[in-house]
Structure 1
Amino acid sequence: MSFSKLGLSDSILKAIEQKGYSEPSPIQNQSIPAILNGKDVMAAAQTGTGKTACFALPILEILSKKKPTKSNQVRTLILTPTRELAIQVSDSVTTYGKYLPLKSSVVFGGVKINPQMQRLCSGVDILVATPGRLLDLYSQNSVKFDMLEIVVFDEADRMLDMGFINDIKRILKILPSKKQTLMFSATFSNKILTLAKSLVNNPVEISVTPRNSTVKAIKQWIHPVDKSKKHALLTHLIQEHNWHQVLVFSRTKYGANRIVNQLEKKKIRATAIHSNKSQGARTRALLDFKNHEVNVLVATDIAARGIEINQLPHVINFDLPYVPEDYVHRIGRTGRAGSKGEAISLVSADEAKQLFDVECLIQNKLDRVMVEGFVPDHNLPESGKKLLSPKNRNFKNSKSRNRLRYGKNSSFKKINLTMKNS
């Protein structure tokens, strides 16, 4: 099926063609008609399968047939968990809607709020926002939702976890009760899936691949290594294979900075991106990486969702994430839009539990590949069928997940997860 069969206008089809796309992906094929028919949608699909276009294209089609928006009003709200994803989604909306008389804008923290307030004065048809900055703008009467028709949760699993749930509950209270709700993500834990279903009305549920699965085009393996030799192994791999564009994930901001310092000592051009960096520094780092001005971008999980780099060949997990779903999002930065990619994890013996949780989630035992000169003194246990069984995972409830993600003193105990009355 071609995009022309999905009920999109010639103006949108022209923009799609100029983008270089000819046929919709399976998730687009199912999502676009459902959204055009006014249905609430919950969709899960692997990273790199075009989820942004799933909601951007039909939203543009719907809004193009209605009256212009009014001052400070928003007709469609797209919520994202990170600034980088907000920028990416906004760029896609602009690209697909370039031949339509619609206005869109993006707002996020880390930059001055006044220019964002000015852009909203005359109203926008589509607003892409991170939750915190959106609430700041609402509290200053810079944005109103009386005309809101559609709300989108992009990377819905992250939007509904304990890091954002309070802000999301506050936002839902200020939105009209009658609206079309769309949720898209690559991963949905059972807990988040149950919560998500409480926010939609008789939704069309779409899943074109097994939930939480990884893309087949991504070749995955691990290098067992002692923790003390990870920096040396990372340098060895980059130099030995002459890699020119590598995205490396670190579990912490301090760790990311340390990796950059170690690589630069070996004359490897590297830069870091994490929440301690200003928005300007984060934007420059990403741009330098895309333009091949640096060879290695070292990131915390802030970059696991929303960073799109054409034909990124290599992703390396310097540390495995505490929350296994983050592994799926990390490696999904490669192998996008049908291209091939490699995802390599440097795993020490103390990360055996994190490794087994990842293998359980993706239902696949990752190959162990020893590197000469880096064979570990502390052996990494093999995972067996028992460890791969979902019943034996140690992530049985949201409390354990969020202690790992947000720390022992996080306030998740105080939050009511029942949101039907929000």
Structure 2
Amino acid sequence: MLNTTDNNGNQSNGFTSLKLGEPIQKAIAKLGYTHPTPIQSQAIPHVLENKDVLGIAQTGTGKTAAFSLPILQRLLGREKAPENTTPQKPVVLILAPTRELALQIEDNIKLFSKEMKLQMATVFGGIPKRKQINKIKRGVALIIATPGRLLDLNQMKILDLSEVQVLVLDEADRMMDMGFTKDMTRIVRKIPKIRQTLFFSATMSPDILQLSQHMLHKPVRVEVSPESTTAEKVDDRVLYTVDNKKRETTLELLEYEGIDDCLIFTRTKIGADKLERFLKRKQKSVLALHGDKTQNARQKALKSFKEGKCKILVATDVASRGIDISNLSCVINYDVPNEPEAYIHRVGRTGRAGKEGKAFTLCTVNDREFWRKIELLVGHKVKEYHGHSNPMSANDRDRMDGKIKMLPNRGKPAFRRGLKRRR
């Protein structure tokens, strides 16, 4: 039977009210986090009490921190244990469906564990095993893995799972959809029966519920729903463009709108760096913020932006999570986010405390499916922006026309409307 908590996570006391050690609190503070999200408020106390947790939460709700922070608290105690010359076996195993999610979890944990001496490894398929094997042989306390590669390394006798104390299944529903159910079951059989299991899923179908019942012992169920609408005070607009004109479109938008302060979201760290260099060449006051930057560089960039010395901050979603920037007037989605909920999270950075804000999204034909899902989530057709000059040449329009012919019927109307208005 499940112990169910309600959907009202108490956020008033902030992270300091949670029983997290000083190194973790320090890292949280340096990242600019102020208050836990509902899923964090609900889940963290239960995880700290070594209870199994069934978490129903989608991307954009802060679920990664909900399991990462209390796990790091558990590992914090092991740092004080006497050193052993034998390479450490993993005590925490985090399973993820894809390489991208595994790396995103790794990025988060690296940020949260800056003040700790944490040995961890992330393993996934599609690349040679040698580097991953070498890291595991040196000893790791925490391992993040996709199911297939984990089983490969276990069968090779490289990875010993006999001391795993905490198992996390992130996006379990997605792992099922990708055909990993048998792999997940095999992995569970290879780790100790006496353990803590944290099971997170965006949905709760009968199949998912059945799987969770096999893996969890008297779990606490926590459930939150992501926001499904943008703030009322935010005027969000979409600009249809092409990939090789996005930088110029962004520059024109900044200049035409006379934007004084702006947070620009990119999908990748490389993309953030490239846009920063381009805007600097155009004499813009801009800095990039992402996981590859040093902690000192991230702090300086954020401080400079908050104080108004830097006018434009280009950031990835992971690096910007938890950062509280007041009085932000504008957000630009340079890249359409892969997850619809991330759009709500990004756009919600502006238009706070009763003030009006603007949000602009650059959308190309390659973004059509992502954009369709976003409009379904927000529940309305986002208005097209017409305030700046046309970024598309005649050749660009012809190329876009050719691509639109290949779109499924449901994807054509919005893009055709955008093209007609530009002609």
TM-score (ref. length: structure 2): 0.57
Displacement after TM superposition at 1:142 (Å): 2.2
Matched residue, 1:408: none
| Aligned residues of 1:248 and 1:315 also touching (Cα < 8 A) | no
Q: RMSD of the alignment, in Å? A: 5.6
User: What is the distance in 2 between the residues matched to 1:228 and 1:369?
Assistant: 17
| 1:74-98 deviations in Å (ceiling 9; x for gaps) | 21112344264143133145247x3
In the alignment, structure 1 residue 75 sits paired with structure 2 residue 91:
yes
Aligned to 1:221: 236
Does 1:142 pair with 2:158? yes
Mapping of 1:175-186 within 5 angstroms? 175=188, 176=191, 178=193, 179-184=195-200
Give the conservation status (yes or no) of the 8 Å contact 2:39–2:63: yes
- Percent identity, aligned pairs only, is 25
Shift in CA distance, 24/245, structure 1 to aligned 2, threshold 3 Å: closer
Matched, 1:121 2:121: no
- CA contact 2:164–2:192 (8 Å) conserved in 1: no
| Structure-2 separation of matches of 1:197 and 1:320 | 32
Q: Which residue of 2 aligns with 1:328?
A: 341
| Structure 1, unaligned runs of 5 or more | 273-281, 377-393, 396-422
Partner Cα distance (1:317, 1:25) in 2? 23
Residue matched to 1:170: 183
Structure 2 CA distance for aligned equivalents of residues 217 and 120 of structure 1: 50
Q: How much has 1:235 moved relative to structure 2? A: 3.8
The aligned residue for residue 119 of structure 2 is 104
The answer on whether the counterparts of 1:245 and 1:289 sit within 8 Å (CA) in structure 2 is no
* AA partner of residue 94 (structure 1): S
Secondary structure, aligned partner of 1:121: helix
Contact 2:245 2:391 survives alignment (8 Å)? no
CA distance in 1, matches of 2:33, 2:324: 16
The reply on whether 1:30 has 2:42 as its aligned counterpart is yes
Determine the structure 2 residue equivalent to 1:361.
Answer: 377
CA distance in 2, matches of 1:104, 1:145: 16
| CA drift at 1:105 | 0.6
| 1:264-283 aligned within 5 A | none
8 Å Cα contact 1:248-1:297 kept in structure 2: yes
Residues 26-76 of structure 1 deviation map (CA, whole Å, 9 limit, x = unaligned): 3222111222241222141662x5433321232244456688997562211
Q: Does 1:58 pair with 2:70?
A: yes
User: SS of the counterpart of 1:199?
Assistant: helix
Match of 1:88 in 2: 107
**Inter-CA distance 222–45: structure 2 relative to 1 (3 Å threshold):** same
Counterpart CA distance in 1 for 2:350 and 2:155 is 40
Counterpart position of 1:200? 212
Aligned length: 346
Rounded to whole Å, the distance in 2 between the matches of 1:91 and 1:107 is: 11
SS of structure 1 residue aligned to 2:164: coil
Equivalent residue letter for 2:228: S
Separation in 2, partners of 1:198, 1:111 = 33
Normalised by the size of structure 1, how large is the TM-score? Answer: 0.58
Amino acid at match of 1:247: F
* Other structure's SS at 1:247 match: strand
Cα distance in 1 for residues equivalent to 2:384 and 2:63:
32
Whether the 8 Å contact between 1:249 and 1:317 is mirrored in structure 2 is no
1:221-280 Cα shifts (integer Å, max 9, x gaps):
223547699645334114443777633459xx9xx89x97xx69x85999x9xxxxxxxx
Q: Cα deviations across residues 94-148 of structure 1 (Å, max 9, x unaligned)? A: 247x3xxx74313245887545434433643322345565445334322111122
Secondary structure of the residue aligned to 1:77 is strand
The alpha-carbon distance between structure 1 residues 57 and 248, as it changes in their structure 2 partners (threshold 3 A), is: closer
Alignment match, 2:168? 152
Change (3 A) 1:371 1:133: farther
Q: Which residue of 2 aligns with 1:414?
A: none
The amino acid that maps onto 2:341 is V
